[in-house]
Amino acid sequence: MKVLAAVDKFRGTATAAQVATAIGHACWQLGHDCVERPLADGGEGTLEALGGANRTTLVTGPLGKPVQAPWRLHRGTAVIEMACASGLLLAGGKQENDPIAATTTGTGELIDAALDLGAKRIIVCLGGSATTDGGLGAIKAIQTPARLKGVEFVVACDVTTQFTDAAKVFAPQKGASPAQVQFLTTRLEKLVQDYQTNYGVDVSKISGAGAAGGLAGGLAALGAQLVPGFDLVAEEVELDVLIADIDMIITGEGFMDNESFAGKVVGSMAELAVERKIKIAAICGEIHPEVRSQINSVSLVETFGREEAFARPLHCIEHAALQILREIAR
């Protein structure tokens, strides 16, 4: 068989590229060809899926301290992953984050750097943010926003959250108390008016504008087009071409639940498999019982135990792939 390993990251344990390689090893052992294709949904890991970083810039981190942010510039296209400049992990996680002060300034500085270096196309990938500043930090960091009118400016989102709902939906995950959520919501509501006045854009009407604490809306005010993250990645890596002669797809992610089937990698690959009448299976760290019946799948935690799944994820992924491939061959 010719197998496509089209996988997302297993957050905290394995990158998408590592997962794809582990599946590739399993295919090789059984004599199958394997195309290894790390994917992402527009959030963390999208930079890697689109070729990986080839430069680093010193920018303002989410809490004001300087950070070295990796990004990509190739043939006039810049790929910026906001988590690398303004991410929650850079802030020390939920416990160390300051949800009121957290800023997207560093992401704006990367956009500015891309413009300085002559980028003709800028892709900003959202997800994993520490921030709920409505993108104001990023906007202020872009020295001459008018330059963005001369480039293709795209923002990859993996949610449809409205701008003024960003605090309510995401801020608690970033350490915000109920009182802080209310403060942040009020701040976002004021920004709606400011962006309407200054840029003539009503970000409250744009689906997905609440992504990354409203960064999506802030960039939309500057003219960015918000697009579904998986669709953007699929187009960039020419996924349609890759699956043209594939017999089997193995996909996967760290935790599979209902959200996995709402624009994420696993659900999107499942839809493609049905359309193309290709066999598909998923390898996941853990699987919510509600979605088990939606796709043939293997849970690493259930199959190998939690300790082993987290201690040796790639070993477990390889053996799960062997299990799937042997079952298909029967």
- Does 224 score more than 90 pLDDT? yes
Average pLDDT value for residue range 108-137: 97
Average pLDDT value for residue range 234-258: 95
Same domain assignment for residues 77 and 214: yes
The domain boundary residue, chosen from 211, 230, 249 = 230
Rounded to the nearest integer, the mean pLDDT of the chain is 95
Same domain assignment for residues 243 and 320: yes
Same domain assignment for residues 207 and 245: no
- Does 137 score more than 90 pLDDT? yes
Average pLDDT value for residue range 150-163: 93
Confidence class of residue 104 from pLDDT cuts 50, 70 and 90? Answer: very high
Same domain assignment for residues 169 and 313: no
Confidence class of residue 262 from pLDDT cuts 50, 70 and 90? Answer: confident
Same domain assignment for residues 207 and 79: yes
CA torsion 230→55→24→26, rounded to 10°? Answer: -110
pLDDT for residue 26? 97
pLDDT for residue 153? 98
Same domain assignment for residues 156 and 108: yes
- Does 44 score more than 90 pLDDT? no
Same domain assignment for residues 268 and 141: no
Return the CATH number at 52: 3.90.1510.10
The domain boundary residue, chosen from 187, 210, 230 = 230
Confidence class of residue 159 from pLDDT cuts 50, 70 and 90? Answer: confident
Same domain assignment for residues 13 and 144: no
Same domain assignment for residues 209 and 272: no
Q: How many domains does the chain have?
A: 2
Average pLDDT value for residue range 258-277: 93
Same domain assignment for residues 264 and 299: yes
Confidence class of residue 12 from pLDDT cuts 50, 70 and 90? Answer: confident
Return the CATH number at 14: 3.40.50.10350
Percentage of the chain surpassing pLDDT 70?
100
Same domain assignment for residues 99 and 171: yes
Residue range(s) defining the domain that contains residue 303? 2-39+238-329
Please state the pTM of the whole predicted model.
Answer: 0.91
Same domain assignment for residues 78 and 224: yes
